């Protein structure tokens, strides 16, 4: 137990450069408190002491602002940064080395008593206020952008952004137990599409402009281009 607690404390130092000392981490990190209280609640839940597990979860939410259902399965080296407003549902599975930020919701989409919450793979980063819904699987080494709403499974190494979440091409795999915290560098597929449309519009405008010019204007333009080409060849 103490080895696991030590590992959890070290995980804070690995993921948060603001952490200055062990005593600060133990006293002032609600994400760490939420994980420890969840482990206690989960222990009771697995042994069919359901009310006790739920009550500990309720106390956990009251003190930390983080709600983790006692039935959720949480892996090792899990870290919740800041954490206020994080919600993790009953049948959620979070594997090892996962990092969540403030306001993340791992929610369900069914009223049936079955697996209805997401499975989060190893070494996944979920950005601020992102929402992951339903019995879907987020592969290892994925990165989910802030504010995204993810309702479909994503392959390992993907970047997911937008509403609804769009899965972009795979990113470079991160080294073990180390997250890429450069969230500002996540690509925006909507901006890419708009830039492509703008470039195409400019190309079409250029074509229309030249097509509407008189024959004499085009001859003058081509003559100027030839002279520029000759000057360029002379410089070479």
Q: What is the DSSP track for 135-180?
A: S-EEPTT-EE-TT-EE-S-B-TT-EEETTTTEE-S--PPPPTT---
Question: What average pLDDT score do residues 125-129 get?
Answer: 91
Question: Residue 132: beta bridge partners?
Answer: 106, 150
Question: What average pLDDT score do residues 124-145 get?
Answer: 91
Give domain limits for the chain.
2-183, 191-235
Q: Which comes out higher in pLDDT, residue 116 or 164? A: 116
Element (H, E) at 93: strand 93-94
pLDDT band at 215 (very low <50, low <70, confident <90, very high): low
How confident is the model at residue 52, as a pLDDT?
95
- Residue 197, both tokens: 């449309």
Question: What average pLDDT score do residues 213-232 get?
Answer: 65
Question: What average pLDDT score do residues 56-82 get?
Answer: 93
Q: Which residue has the tokens 């956990």?
A: 60
- Report the mean per-residue pLDDT for the chain: 83
Diameter of the chain by CA atoms?
90
Question: What average pLDDT score do residues 38-66 get?
Answer: 94
Question: What average pLDDT score do residues 53-80 get?
Answer: 94
Neighbouring residues of 3: CB distance < 8 A, sequence distance ≥ 6: none
Q: Which comes out higher in pLDDT, residue 119 or 174? A: 119
Most confident range, picked from 10-19, 123-132, 156-165, 206-215? 123-132
Question: Strands 159-161, 166-167: parallel, antiparallel or unpaired by DSSP?
Answer: antiparallel
* Range list of H helices, the chain: 2-15, 22-28, 30-46, 50-64, 189-211, 215-235
- CB 35 within 8 Å of CB 80: yes
Give the strands of the sheet with 79-80, arranged side by side.
Answer: 79-80, 99-100, 125-126, 143-144, 159-161, 166-167
Give the strands of the sheet with 119-120, arranged side by side.
Answer: 73-74, 93-94, 119-120, 137-138
- Residue 97, both tokens: 């080395």
Best CA proximity match to 174, nearest among 141, 125, 145: 141
Digit-coded pLDDT (tens) for 83-125: 899 999 999 999 999 999 999 999 998 888 889 999 999 999 9
Question: What average pLDDT score do residues 220-235 get?
Answer: 65
In whole angstroms, give the CA distance from residue 68 to residue 80: 11
What topology is assigned to 2-183 in CATH?
Answer: UDP N-Acetylglucosamine Acyltransferase; domain 1 (2.160.10)
Question: What average pLDDT score do residues 181-193 get?
Answer: 64
Cβ count near 212 (within 10 Å)? 8
pLDDT band at 175 (very low <50, low <70, confident <90, very high): very low
- Residue 132, both tokens: 């992951």
Best CA proximity match to 106, nearest among 130, 76, 140: 130
Q: What is the pTM of this model?
A: 0.71
């Amino acid at each position: 137990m103490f080895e696991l607690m030590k590992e959890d404390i070290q995980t804070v130092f690995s993921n948060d450069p603001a952490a200055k000392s062990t005593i600060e981490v133990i006293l002032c990190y609600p994400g760490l408190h939420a994980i420890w209280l969840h482990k206690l609640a989960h222990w009771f839940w697995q042994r069919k002491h359901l009310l006790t597990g739920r009550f500990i979860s309720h106390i956990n939410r009251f003190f930390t602002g983080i709600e983790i259902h006692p039935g959720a399965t949480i892996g090792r080296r899990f870290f919740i940064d800041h954490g206020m407003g994080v919600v993790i549902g009953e049948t959620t599975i979070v594997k090892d080395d996962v990092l969540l930020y403030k306001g993340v919701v791992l929610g369900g989409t069914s009223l049936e008593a079955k697996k209805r919450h997401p499975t989060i793979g190893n070494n996944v980063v979920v950005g601020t206020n992102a929402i992951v819904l339903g019995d879907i699987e987020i592969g290892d080494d994925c990165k989910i952008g802030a504010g995204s709403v993810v309702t479909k499974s994503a392959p390992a190494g993907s970047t997911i952004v937008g509403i609804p979440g769009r899965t972009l091409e795979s990113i470079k795999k991160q080294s073990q137990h180390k997250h890429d915290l450069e969230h500002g560098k996540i690509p925006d597929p909507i901006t890419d599409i708009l830039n492509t449309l703008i470039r195409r519009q400019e190309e079409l405008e250029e074509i229309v402009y030249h097509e509407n010019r008189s024959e004499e204007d085009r001859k003058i333009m081509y003559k100027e281009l030839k002279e520029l080409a000759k000057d360029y060849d002379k410089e070479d």
